[in-house]
Amino acid sequence: MSIGIGIVGVGMISNFHAKAIADSAGGRLVGCYNRNLERAQQFAADQDCIAYATLDEMLANPDIGAVAICTPSGAHLEPAVAAAKAGKHVIVEKPLEVTPERCDEIIAACEQANVKLAVTFQSRFHRSSQLMKSAVDAGRFGKVTLGDTYVKWFRSQEYYDSGAWRGTWDLDGGGALMNQAIHSVDLLLWLMGPVKRVSAMMGTMTHERIEVEDIVVANLQFQNGALGVIEATTTAFPGALKRVEIAGSKGSAVLEEEDITQWTFADETAEDETIRESMAGQTQTGGGAADPAAIGHHGHTEVFNDFLESIEQDRQPLIDGTEGRRSVELICAIYESARSGETVNL
């Protein structure tokens, strides 16, 4: 089965979606829509698809069965809801939206229309992430006590100046945390479970003409009793790979982008040495640490494969709307705590 896909929004990330669709099992790019028709036409010429003058026109094409939303973060809601109402399955670039309430509207529209909804958190599909999740689920860490993530990235002033939507609360939804670190926040929640309460501080230290934070630190208490830290910044020159660390009474492991840099357990298994050897040096890109385009599209391909398979098998995608909403809820709670100076309960 082949499913025709239309892309809404032809900014940088749409190129990764187009490559992922081309490499996917069962997807093909049919068309694109962008508010600036000229940009859509250029994208269509590059990707060999149809540029539509209006979103309604694209959604009216019966050959399009699914729509990929690649607009700025705070502009995901309207095209996603329109696509759902037109009976199209929906896949949304992260974050799902910029507030839990806007996420809920997308989720409700897709449920009402009985269409699938997926969110692109491609880091979950990396083999290193899957190994970490398996170790957590198997209880190998003993009593889990700490779950941390560190995203010490760098973005130039030119990056923020390159689009009017960048660095705004309305359309970017936030700064270093909502735009850059959200993949790590999603991984942390997936591995550690829900957060009970959070206390945070944030600031704008080195960038001009932006409304949002370029540095944030949050202390977390998870529902399982474990504690944790989230650090995120776009001011750390020259930028380092994102890191997720899990520690407990019987083990510790560190994930650095697609590498596992520590894998130590009290109860060693035959596979552990193989994991330590095979999972070092897996990261083939800069991981987006200094250049947002310095990522591979292989993770996106896995997300699309799962999304297309979920349509074919009539099941929920692995990262559905509810999963996609979790990181947005936590990030908004962190922002609330940083603004108020109070601990926020989730």
pLDDT digit string (tens) for 198-208? 999 999 999 99
Q: Are 134 and 100 found together in one domain?
A: no
In this structure, the strands spanning 89-93 and 117-120 are parallel
How many distinct structural domains can be found in the chain?
2
Residues 60 and 174 occupy one common structural domain: no
* Residues 72, 139 within the same domain: no
Spatial distance between the Cα atoms of 1 and 6, rounded to a whole number of angstroms: 17
Q: Is the pLDDT of residue 133 over 90?
A: yes
- Alpha-carbon distance of 120 to 324, in angstroms, equals 8
Q: Would you place residue 158 in the very low, low, confident or very high pLDDT band (cuts 50, 70, 90)?
A: very high
178 and 75, same domain (yes or no): no
154 bridge partner residues: 235
Q: Is 295 within a domain?
A: no
Region 274-291: mean pLDDT is 86
311 part of a folded domain: no
Instruction: State which of 115, 137, 166 marks the end of a domain.
Output: 115
Interval 12-37 mean pLDDT:
97
Do the beta carbons of residue 174 and residue 98 sit within 8 Å? yes
Task: Give the residue from 115, 138, 165 where a domain finishes.
Answer: 115
Residue 73 CB contacts under 8 Å (≥ 6 apart), including other chains: 94, 95, 97, 98, 171, 172, 173, 178, 179
Instruction: Tell me what pLDDT residue 55 has.
Output: 98
What average pLDDT does range 261-266 have in this prediction? 98
Confidence (pLDDT) at 241:
95
Mean pLDDT for the stretch of residues 21-43:
97
Does residue 294 have a pLDDT over 80?
A: no
Would you state the pLDDT for residue 286?
Answer: 80
Domain containing residue 278: 124-290+328-345
Which of 115, 143, 177 is a domain's end point?
115
What global pTM score does this model have? 0.97
CATH of the domain at 269: 3.30.360.10
12-23 vs 298-313: helix axis angle to the nearest 10?
A: 60
